Amino acid sequence: MNKPIRFPANFLWGTATSAYQVEGAPLADGAGHSIWTRFAATPGRIATGDTGDVACDHYHRWKDDVALMRRLGMKAYRFSISWSRILPRGTGAVNEAGIVFYERLVDELLANGIEPLVTLYHWDLPAALDDRGGWLNPDIATWFADYARVLFERLDGRVRFWTTLNEPWVVTDGGYLHGVLAPGHRNLFEAPIASHNLLRAHGAAVKAYREVGRHRIGLVVNIEPKYPASGDPADLAATRRADAYMNRQYLDPVFHGSYPPELKDIFGEAWPDWPREDFDLIGQELDYIGINYYTRSVCHHDEANWPLKVAAVRQAQATHTETGWEVFPPGLTDTLVAFKERYGDIPVYVMENGSAFYDPPRAEGGRVRDPLRADCLKKHVAALAAAVEQGVDVRGYTVWSLLDNLEWSLGFAKRFGIVHVNFETGERTPKDSALLYANIALTNGACLNDEE
């Protein structure tokens, strides 16, 4: 590495999880069904037949999990709240036991010096709201803001970092366009409506926060930088389409007040004309942006690929993870620098970054050697430092994930954790990558300089 790795003082080093992926007991203590409890109960939807019924049993082991984070020297923990634990029907009556679960978790984190970073929506919509149209019903902006307000009123102050939505692109692309995630629709006409309502809901929650909250609120998006496979104009246009669809679809309306023009080409007659005033709601000022980065894609024009007409060219020489994603650390630097250039200088948190590599189901002798994940982590932290060096105001990084967990429709087989979970016994074992990460957090990244 040419430049020494340096991070600002008070940089927030942490880990991330989400409710349905780790908690288990999704219906305990008065909680309602979500689109994920339904999806998982539908044969064929989760490849392995796995469900989140037990998952990492974090719902019962949260205290031990916080103690584990403390032992690893973590300064922050990003987790999500399950809407249907708080409001079992999505709107209306509040389930006190649901709030108490998260209240205890927050208090325990604070008592251990760990900053809670709370996401209000990480994909587990209450099933009762799906029955009313879910993200296709424009009323969802109000439903979401009302739900958010319950939590702001109860937890703001103890929680100083709120996120409205995790990865709206995945909610729409997986849930409404390609049908691989709950609620499993495959519909070109629904996708833009779901996206737009996600953005309106985000805006409505931020607006509610300004009335009752006193700290920070932001949005978390996933960015996958797009590089052209060649200089051919068709490939360059394909790259712009892919970038507009995945990377600018949410950020442009939030920061620039309009959708990228490419979306009209992609969706054709399925792309509605949106009311101008919606963009005032969507464009609420944010205190930070959260960016999730996993990989890049190299794009070429492919007429047959519905609906984008873009295909990714696999980079044969590169390392790929168990989810088939290319390991490409410079893409993290590029993403952060490009964000700042296009949207300006607002505080940035990398809220997810990590890798699935094979680990055995049981940790033998108390140790899990995961050199590929550790190497990947090291390189991404160096890429993060390069963005800091180039003037991006990055303030924190939360690894995906604290624990091996339910990788949505791929089940438990894809392990992203820096802590191993034995899914038969629930036992946790920090992997070598966790020990490395503890040292990164302890030295604020400087330990990586000794390794060069």
Positions touching ligand BGC (CB under 6 A) are 18, 21, 166-167, 170, 222, 292, 352, 400, 407, 416
Quick check: is 167 catalytic?
A: yes
The nearer residue to ligand BGC, 279 or 293, going by C-beta atoms, is 293
Quick check: is 352 catalytic?
A: yes
The nearer residue to ligand BGC, 333 or 409, going by C-beta atoms, is 409
Give the shortest CB-184-to-ligand BGC separation in angstroms. Answer: 17
Give the shortest CB-220-to-ligand BGC separation in angstroms. Answer: 8
The nearer residue to ligand BGC, 107 or 322, going by C-beta atoms, is 322
Give the shortest CB-274-to-ligand BGC separation in angstroms. Answer: 26
The nearer residue to ligand BGC, 5 or 434, going by C-beta atoms, is 434
The nearer residue to ligand BGC, 116 or 228, going by C-beta atoms, is 116
Catalytic-labelled residue, pool 167, 190, 262, 407: 167
The nearer residue to ligand BGC, 122 or 300, going by C-beta atoms, is 122
Catalytic-labelled residue, pool 224, 326, 352, 407: 352
Q: Which two tokens stand for residue 333?
A: 């630097």
Give the shortest CB-37-to-ligand BGC separation in angstroms. Answer: 16
Give the shortest CB-320-to-ligand BGC separation in angstroms. Answer: 14
Give the shortest CB-448-to-ligand BGC separation in angstroms. Answer: 24
Which residues are marked as active site? 167, 352
